[in-house]
């Protein structure tokens, strides 16, 4: 069985990474390996595997991406396509695309899949920025999905139901339909986006970058990825 405490040993690899980041990455790996609300641990890891493989080829047109892994029956073709598109082709996502995926997968499963792909992409990008190899995926853990979702979520004009009303930024409630999915995603946002001396909701905090600089970089990355958001 995987020992999650031995993963993401940034210090061993010569990187001075905050303990909060190291711990949230370890916790994320453990959560991805376990059953969620709509997918088993094996299926969740397959989502992560498809996302990682496709993201690595994001510089190539989709029709030239060779050697992508076969899901071998672990995921439906719709789920595989969704994971790959979210990971590498954000510019293709619009309301019509999302509606088709949600109709096939269900809105809760769609939200859970997004959270895994977003978490996987962020953690892999972090390793790439350090010049470090991607962390090997863990082993799947036993268990069955629990179907957990937020009964109070409502149509707020987005692709999926969300908490409404909400006083924070939309990114903080985007996946709120499935609390475990939102927690997986937002724990990484809180650890990596803010710098440890303040929270995500603080407009300013101390560190190498101030909030306006961080927002500028985030906006630029979003533009490069052609993200409609």
pLDDT tens per residue across span 112-127: 999 999 999 999 999 9
Residue 113: Cβ-neighbour burial (10 angstroms; 0-12, 13-18, 19+) = buried
What tokens does 56 get? 């690595």
pLDDT tens per residue across span 54-110: 999 999 998 999 999 999 999 999 999 999 999 999 889 999 999 999 999 999 999
Q: How confident is the model at residue 3 (pLDDT cuts 50, 70, 90)?
A: low
pLDDT at 128: 96
Locate the domains of the chain by residue range.
Answer: 4-192
pTM of structure: 0.92
Contacts of residue 170, defined as CB under 8 A and 6 or more positions apart, other chains included, come to: 158
Q: How confident is the model at residue 162 (pLDDT cuts 50, 70, 90)?
A: very high
Q: Which of 42, 133, 118, 112 is nearest to 86 (CA)?
A: 118
């Amino acid at each position: 069985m995987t020992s999650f405490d031995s993963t993401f040993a940034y210090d061993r690899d010569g990187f001075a990474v905050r303990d909060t980041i190291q711990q949230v990455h370890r916790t994320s790996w453990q959560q991805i390996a376990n059953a969620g609300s709509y997918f088993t641990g094996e299926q969740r890891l397959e989502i992560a595997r498809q996302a990682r493989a496709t993201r690595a080829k994001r510089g190539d047109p989709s029709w030239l991406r060779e050697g992508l892994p076969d899901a071998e029956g672990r995921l439906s073709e719709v789920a595989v396509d969704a994971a790959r598109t979210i990971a590498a082709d954000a510019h293709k996502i619009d309301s019509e695309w999302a509606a088709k995926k949600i109709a096939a997968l269900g809105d809760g499963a769609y939200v859970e899949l997004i959270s895994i792909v977003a978490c996987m992409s962020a953690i892999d990008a972090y390793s790439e920025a350090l010049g470090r190899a991607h962390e090997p995926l863990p082993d799947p853990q036993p268990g069955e999905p629990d179907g957990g979702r937020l009964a109070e979520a409502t149509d707020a004009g987005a692709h999926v139901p969300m908490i409404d009303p909400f006083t924070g930024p939309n990114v903080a409630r985007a996946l709120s339909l499935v609390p475990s999915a939102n927690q997986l995603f937002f724990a990484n946002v809180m650890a990596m986006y803010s710098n440890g001396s303040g929270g995500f909701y603080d407009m300013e905090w101390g560190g190498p970058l101030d909030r306006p600089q961080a927002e500028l970089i985030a906006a630029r990355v979003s533009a490069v990825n052609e993200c409609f958001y």
